[in-house]
Structure 1
Amino acid sequence: MKDFIAELEAARRSVGTGSLPAGEARVITIERTYPVDVEDVWDAVTDPERIPRWFLPVTGDFRVGGAFQVEGNAGGEIRACDAPRLLRLTWVMGPPTPEDSSVVEVRLAPADGGGTTLTLEHTAVVPPEMWDQFGPGAVGVGWDGALLGLGLHLDSGEALDPAAVLESPELRAFNVASSAAWGSALAAADGLGEDEVAARVAATTAFYVPAEDTSAQG
């Protein structure tokens, strides 16, 4: 199995602000390069038959303006699809809002020296209390995990075994490191104090990496 931490360290993260029809928004951005061509990455992130091999099953109307639903996760509408460079869609947990409050954009470009650079940008109106508790890691760790899955799939060409990945100690370590990485990105963007960043990292880590139950162990 590939080194999960090396996969995490291959990505660059940033935190910023933006705006959507629903109001002022927070923006998280992840950029990383995969050693395959643009067409292969595009197919992996847009083909509904292939997406479950590295992410989750998805259903819907896969045209611009069509609605989609990711199994057990978010749904939304496809807003732009410019193959093989740009995919933009809304990304909402639960019922859609009257105005766009969460938008994900994926951009692909040939990388210098070969391969494909993928940039994922998630812009969302975040309740202040949620941002103050978790910071960017609330969604950032999840997206890091998705891009890890994509990388593993692109490397092997095979479908992942979700149970094996989710139950692996390597993924727990990956999520801990991802939470810390988003804390560093937040500190660089907002200039928060060390204790403030540490509190957000701790809350995010506790959500994604809950303490293991050792009560049944002898």
Structure 2
Amino acid sequence: MFDIANHLKAIHREVGTGPAEGGGEEVRVVLRRTYAAPVADVWDAITDPDRVKRWFFPLTGDLKPGGTFQLEGNAGGEIRRCEPPRRLTITFGGPTSVVDLHLSPGSADDTELEFTHTVPIEMAGSGAGALFVGPGWDGALLGLALFLAGEQIGDPMAAANSPEVREFSRGSIDEWVAVVEASGTATAEETDQGRQMALAQFAPGES
């Protein structure tokens, strides 16, 4: 059993909209979390397939800039930027869905991980689109935290359906709803629809 409340509080969440690099508007979802491990270890845990499969999904591909990757049973994409041990930029599920991950050393041999996922407004619909991905990324950051701390919860796929992780996911959805509401990037109706879709995906059976 892990401390659900503390793991929820450990993640900083943001939602925003703004101009996209190639024109148009995008929705930006940002997460930050600090890990009690050095940068090199965190980088290795998120890029070494033998370690990734122990807390996330089995990972295959040509894992270098310009190469592609595939997460078993999940999304794949292109590796656009890889600068060990600090920066990784990939597409995730499509060429306009971009994930940028940045690691920074802390003051006590720990690491701050900043994670940004951007998609066109046409894909997200509004800032409420954060509810389609945010709780899933929260779960990934939780899995990484437990793995780095040596507190693994068994097979990651089986763990995703455990009572503890389902409770974490319900709390995560509540946190993302609050962030979307505070951001002013979605209507109340859009936010409620996003919440219902998130519950169906990440915490089925809840309402």
TM-score, length basis structure 2: 0.88
TM-superposed deviation, 1:208 = 1.6
Question: What is the match of residue 170 of structure 2?
Answer: 176
**Aligned CA distance change for structure 1 residues 133 and 26 (closer, same or farther; 3 Å):** closer
Structure 1 stretch displaced more, 30-39 or 188-197: 188-197
TM-superposed deviation, 1:156 = 0.2
Query: What is the percent sequence identity of the aligned residues?
Result: 42
Question: What is the match of residue 26 of structure 1?
Answer: 27
Structure 1 stretch displaced more, 65-74 or 130-139: 130-139
Q: Which has the larger radius of gyration?
A: 1
Question: What is the match of residue 14 of structure 2?
Answer: 14
- What code does the residue aligned with 1:30 have? L
* Structure 2 unaligned residues grouped into runs of 5+: none
TM-superposed deviation, 1:158 = 5.7
Question: What is the match of residue 117 of structure 1?
Answer: 112
SS at match of 2:194: helix
**Aligned CA distance change for structure 1 residues 53 and 126 (closer, same or farther; 3 Å):** farther
SS at match of 1:50: helix
SS at match of 2:73: coil
* Structure 1 unaligned residues grouped into runs of 5+: 213-218
Given that 1:20 and 1:101 are in contact with CA atoms closer than 8 Å, whether structure 2 keeps it comes out as no
Moved over 6 A (4+): none
RMSD: 2.4
CA distance in 1, matches of 2:187, 2:151: 43
TM-score, length basis structure 1: 0.84
**Aligned CA distance change for structure 1 residues 179 and 190 (closer, same or farther; 3 Å):** same
Given that 1:61 and 1:67 are in contact with CA atoms closer than 8 Å, whether structure 2 keeps it comes out as yes
Given that 2:63 and 2:69 are in contact with CA atoms closer than 8 Å, whether structure 1 keeps it comes out as yes
Question: What is the match of residue 103 of structure 1?
Answer: 98
- What code does the residue aligned with 1:116 have? T
Given that 1:133 and 1:199 are in contact with CA atoms closer than 8 Å, whether structure 2 keeps it comes out as no
